[in-house]
Amino acid sequence: MTVDLKQTESDIRLFIQAHQLTPLQLIDEGAESVASAEAEEMPALTNLKNELGDSFDATLKMHCETAIASYLNQLEQEDFLEKDEALERLACIQERVISTLETHVRYLDHDVRVLDECRTSCTCCYVVPTYIVEKMQQIDAIREQTLDINALEEEEVPAEIKQAAAYFAVGQEPLISIYTAHNSTELPGQFVTSNYSPNPSIDSTAQKALDGARDVHLFWLNAYGLSSYDGKGSEIKSTVHYGVGYANALWNGKQMIYGDGNDVVQNLTELSIIGHEFGHAITGNKLNYEGESGALNEHLSDVWGSLVLQFKNGQTADQASWLIGEGVIKLGNQSYPLRSMKAPGHAYNSPIIGKDPQPDHYSNCYTGSEDSGGVHINSGIPNRAFYLFAAAQGGYAWQKAGLLWFLTLKTGNLLKPNCTMAEFAHATISTALKHFPTDYKMHQDLIQAWKAVGLA
């Protein structure tokens, strides 16, 4: 996490006057003031934290940061803070400040809210749509096992993980661990390997899951400055060989899970799928997983899955395939992707599993109850818009198009849990005007992309 702070006394005074905050305790009265109860309690810090959490005003948040940073700077410059008690009090105050600052982060010149705290309650998000699964059941090719996340309990942390955690330090790569369920439904299963405990004898599926998770981590770290899904370097855990013939991959709110597939769906540790599922961890439960908001949830994961693959391969927008799960569907000698962001509705067309049902225009939006209200179906609409926008911008799609989508997702409370596609389109335009006010080509390309899919 990179926190970019400015420190000016005038900003502090203006901020305090404008918001009637208790002035921050200054240390020029001596070490006794630091050791006092007032300094420890720091009501101003509490007020600042509340302002950061509740305010929609990015300028106010910046001023909050300015006030806190200037206060810290003054504390650190005082030479007479030599008493142990005073230093302990100072450490306590610093912890409070760090906690406050963790609600806000700056990426380049853009104010971005840190990932939401509510992550583990996310609805299980699958990569293979229910309508494909149902087709597989109809042709007796599916051997899917029932997934009951709520009935599963995790094992005790293995010794290898404890050992890895012991020498894992802040600033290093987060722990990326791989388990195997041995075709059972127990999670996380048996520990196999991690980036800190290499195992040369693991099978190719576990190795692909490990390599893919590392590639996903490197994408988020280098493209947007995030370490792990929560921005805090938390463990990235995956389980392979889940169930018997389990033909899906998912994020269950705690970890990623990969089945071995069956006669129709295979290779579920393909990189864009890993990137897609990790994308659900990034979004968390910020967007309800049903209807249009659920389609936007799936759309965002498709964006991240595609961008991870493009980043890994060094591809520009015009070089990328824009396919999600390329080659995952196997029908005889033919293979198909799960989805196409470039051409929704044209990923596959087979008499066995039917035709790709994704629309590419809002006028054809699916309004039925299947697929949780079309979360995998209607995601084709914003997918097409993102592709058109990225293609018009040119270059590497994660640098501008992806950044704009990331800022839209993470800036304040811009997106409501039940956000519609029209509201999301408006939010991206608002974000572009705010963060890129003079990039008129971006504004035009973005509006044209949304117009092309019936949303502007």
Active site residues: 277, 376
Rg, the chain, Cα only? 24
Q: Would you give the distance in Å from CA 140 to the centre of its chain?
A: 36
Q: What separation in angstroms does the CA of 6 have from each of 60, 101, 408?
A: 13, 13, 24
Report yes or no: 345 and 355 within 8 Å, Cβ to Cβ: yes
Q: Are 389 and 401 a contacting pair, CB within 8 Å?
A: yes
Q: Is 342:302 a contact under the CB 8 Å cutoff?
A: no
CA distance 184 to 242: 6
Which one, of 320, 276, 346, lies nearest residue 128 by Cα?
276
Expressed in angstroms, the distance from the first to the final Cα of the chain is: 34
- State the Cα–Cα distance between residues 179 and 194, nearest whole angstrom: 9
**What is the spatial distance between Cα 90 and Cα 85, in angstroms, rounded to a whole number?**
9
| Cα dihedral 39, 52, 1, 417 sign | positive
| Nearest CA among 396, 242, 245, 381 for reference residue 307 | 396
Structure letter (DSSP) for residue 363: G
CA distance 326 to 295: 20
Residue 251: how many other CB atoms lie within 10 Å: 27
- Is residue 366 within 8 A of residue 377, CB to CB? The reply is yes
CB 206 within 8 A of CB 189: no
| Nearest 10 degrees: Cα torsion 366, 367, 368, 374 | 50
Strand partners, 191: 179
Give the contacts of 394 (CB within 8 A, at least 6 positions apart).
316, 317, 318
Sign of the CA dihedral with 384 first, then 390, 396, and 398 last: negative
Beta strands in 288-440 (DSSP E): 323-324, 329-331, 334-336, 339-340, 349-350, 354-355
Residue 340 has a CB neighbour count (10 Å cut-off) of 25
